[in-house]
Structure 1
């Protein structure tokens, strides 16, 4: 009787978790946080059905994998955190300031993107001779390319229109820097020296990719919203794993 009751309760829990995941996917969307939560729920529902007493070897393999995953997470996050303190605001000998996109809400810059733009505006105000490249394409739910909204924001802060160049095709950090490099090469700059402005959690990976692409890089890490920091740090772990694999692959980043 007790076993039957536990099974019924487990079934109700599964149903509730499934309905919650469906509601989040339908009404909130397929953002990283929602997908991560749904994957966690599915994993929970699967793993708790396993009789671990009968699958000792599988349990050991799972524990080893979890241990290795935790170690890799801690190591990679330590590198990510090292990017928090990057602040080369005293450097003036650069070809361009490059501001990386961070998403729009319709046609308005997001809080994270606004903080990046404010950090770039502060630097550019002190170094009026350095032009700016704003980089970001148009994603789902965005009414225009990020670069256009970024330029409009900087113009509203008093920056001249002809001082700002647009890179409006990219959809990832790698493309941000690849397409920006193409713009610079078209201007005759073969070995660009740039100052990257991006969020604290994003700086390490952005500089890693930029150096691989042949940039001489400096950076300014802008703050990011505290309530988004945990999910951004988790997402950055997976993005770093993908970047490391790409860098080590045969083709790599070119």
Structure 2
């Protein structure tokens, strides 16, 4: 069987080489185009640039196929070729594992003492679409469980007029949520701080052994729940929908954040 496959590949070598070149160039171009598009919405966010970081080498491999094949026959060329192959293989495997971790988080509907809404960027005093989805999920949950507090968590960025928490509170009030149910956490700058500072507030507000549910987007739910539990909270996730056209960027960014948190103890946010 292997001999037949090898013989077939030899007969169709030129066609296979051409197909590989076209595939690399097209895939690399799509990934690079995604970066150009996503940069309009995710300025300064590493998730916007990761597709191009992955895609540009593919464009080079496809466009310079002939000279690179000659170079890869040399000693150092072969070493570089195997290194590139190893890097992409490790990326695909580790990215696949991160997707499995993300998809492992169930959508919890159990009653909690508080729902924590994690900040996700505001602009000119308005919530981003990603943050809107989180707030809408928290609002629906608060209607279902009228005894639950709603903690809006997010500090003020350098380019923001108000803290994320203040803007989030304004959004929930406009939707009709009672002000006395909303608790603001205005000092955090990342997911870890969101949850740590929210826990400190709830420790002084609720009775011992309280439980929480975290309103965030599906791609973010695994890490958010993991951090909360590592901080000692009885926590589950309330995954909200995500912005579909930013999915590649959000999942790639979260891929890096998951491994950074698991192995280094920090995230990319």
TM-score by length of 2: 0.74
**Match of residue 182 from structure 1:** 200
Choose which of 71, 80, 83 in structure 2 pairs with 1:61: 83
CA contact (8 A) 1:191 1:214 kept: no
The Cα shift of 1:187 comes to: 3.0
CA contact (8 A) 2:125 2:161 kept: yes
The Cα shift of 1:189 comes to: 4.6
Q: How is 1:1-254 mapped onto 2 (pairs within 5 angstroms)?
A: 28=40, 29-36=43-50, 39-40=53-54, 43=57, 51-54=71-74, 55-83=77-105, 86-89=106-109, 91-92=110-111, 94-187=112-205, 189=207, 191-247=209-265
1:60-100 Cα offsets, whole Å, 9 max, x none, are 233223212211111111111233xx3222x22x2211111
The Cα shift of 1:112 comes to: 1.1
1:142-176 Cα offsets, whole Å, 9 max, x none, are 22111001111111111221211111111111111
Query: Aligned partners of 1:72 and 1:208: how far apart in 2?
Result: 18
The runs of 5 or more residues in structure 1 that have no matched partner are 1-16, 250-254
TM-score by length of 1: 0.78
The Cα shift of 1:42 comes to: 6.7
CA contact (8 A) 1:95 1:194 kept: yes
Structure 2 counterpart SS, 1:77: helix
1:194-233 Cα offsets, whole Å, 9 max, x none, are 0111111111111111111111112211111111112111
The Cα shift of 1:128 comes to: 1.0
The Cα shift of 1:129 comes to: 1.1
CA contact (8 A) 1:82 1:204 kept: yes
CA distance 1:183–1:153, change in 2 (3 Å): same
CA distance 1:130–1:142, change in 2 (3 Å): same
The Cα shift of 1:32 comes to: 2.5
CA distance 1:147–1:73, change in 2 (3 Å): same
CA distance 1:188–1:122, change in 2 (3 Å): closer
Query: Aligned partners of 2:215 and 2:224: how far apart in 1?
Result: 9
The Cα shift of 1:138 comes to: 1.7
CA contact (8 A) 2:50 2:253 kept: no
